[in-house]
């Protein structure tokens, strides 16, 4: 997303300042090599640093700001932007729900949700944060999800090459503190030194569990059982508007009800995360998960001023002038 938004801005003839995250040391180092190689400094610049650097940047009168990160920092960015009446796109955090009803293909749903929750170490904004499974299908879903974990990562994921590392040891420590050992269905172990955290399934999950207090952003899939779909909708609504939502169902009426009733940035039916890769679709959050769409033409329209100009041309025919 960091590079996509820069491309969007450059395609409209704008200059860009990229502020990297302080924990992305390798990425920052690579950008320090590539950006000066292919761009003039006055066209694209890379800035590194922590809170103090960001604070100084936000004091500048930018024409547009794109920010991706937490809700708390997003509010800081928006307040700073307001001082200069600078428009923004904010892509923020949140718990993305998934719903698997009694008509769904359970094996397919489990496989896709496990992939969505654990690919790239679960460290992508559209990753499903938890899944509600109909009570008649919960045990089947858990069994299929465990099979999917083994298919994707083997019996010992720590020895494989298919699971991304966690961004920092601090985040591994945070994850270990969030998990109730008695609710671990699969995985649940980590190593701070190697920045490793096993792909993990948690059940039974309740809204009062620590794992549900905020966006996980790591390879953990909490599983909840439900009986009444209307109660599920109420619970999801009570926890803010998510960036993404996923519905697994063969029931067209129920699917239509959920799409109509739930407010979220974007999502998929019987799929996970793929909306992120379809460049012709708008992508962005709503409410606590952000504001403004980006990607493809939607990002170009949202982040650029459409300036209209009218011309009047004078045409002379003989001695008479016509204006139009």
CA atoms within 13 Å, Cβ hemisphere of 10: 17
- Does an H or E element contain 225, and which? strand 220-226
Instruction: To the nearest 10°, report the CA torsion of 50, 55, 58, 59.
Output: -150
Residues classed as catalytic: 91, 125
CB-based contacts of 214, cutoff 8 Å, min separation 6:
93, 95
C-beta of residue 225 within 8 angstroms of C-beta of residue 140: no
Peptide bond into 204 cis (omega under 30): yes
Instruction: To the nearest 10°, report the CA torsion of 66, 67, 71, 74.
Output: -70
b/e burial code for range 103-130 (CB count within 10 A of at least 16 → b): ebebeebbbbbbbbbbbebbbbbbbbbb
Q: 284 forms bridges with which residues in the sheet?
A: 293
Q: Give dist(CA 193, CA 170) in Å, integer.
A: 10
Is 18 in a helix, a strand, or coil?
Answer: strand
Structure token digits, residue 138: 């919960």
Cβ neighbourhood burial of 37 (10 Å; 0-12, 13-18, 19+): exposed
DSSP label of 304: S
């Amino acid at each position: 997303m960091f590079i996509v938004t820069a491309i969007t801005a450059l395609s409209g003839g704008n200059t860009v300042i990229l502020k990297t995250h302080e924990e992305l040391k390798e990425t920052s180092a690579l950008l320090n090599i590539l950006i000066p190689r292919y761009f003039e400094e006055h066209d694209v610049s890379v800035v590194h640093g922590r809170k103090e650097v960001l604070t100084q940047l936000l004091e500048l009168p930018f024409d547009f700001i794109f920010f991706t990160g937490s809700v708390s920092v997003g509010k800081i960015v928006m307040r700073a932007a307001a001082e200069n009446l600078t428009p923004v796109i904010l892509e923020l955090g949140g718990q993305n729900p998934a719903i698997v009803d009694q008509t769904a293909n359970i094996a397919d749903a489990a496989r896709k949700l496990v992939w969505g929750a654990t690919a790239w170490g679960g460290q992508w904004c559209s990753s499903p944060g938890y899944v509600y499974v109909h009570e008649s299908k919960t045990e089947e879903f858990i069994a299929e999800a465990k099979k999917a974990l083994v298919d994707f990562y083997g019996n010992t994921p720590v020895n494989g090459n298919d699971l991304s590392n966690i961004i920092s040891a601090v985040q591994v420590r945070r994850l270990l503190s969030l998990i109730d050992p008695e609710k671990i269905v699969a995985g649940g172990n980590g190593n701070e030194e190697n920045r490793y955290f096993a792909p993990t399934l948690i059940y039974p999950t309740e809204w009062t569990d620590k794992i549900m207090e905020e966006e996980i952003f790591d390879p953990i899939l909490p599983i909840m059982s439900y009986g009444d779909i209307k109660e599920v909708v109420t619970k999801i609504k009570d926890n803010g508007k998510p960036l993404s939502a996923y519905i697994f169902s063969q029931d067209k009426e129920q699917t239509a009800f959920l799409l109509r009733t739930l407010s979220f940035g974007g999502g998929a039916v019987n799929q996970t995360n793929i909306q992120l890769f379809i460049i012709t679709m708008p992508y962005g959050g709503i409410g606590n998960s952000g504001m403004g769409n980006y990607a493809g033409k939607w990002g170009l329209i949202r982040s650029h001023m459409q300036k209209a100009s009218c011309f009047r041309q004078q045409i002379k025919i003989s001695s008479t002038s016509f204006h139009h």
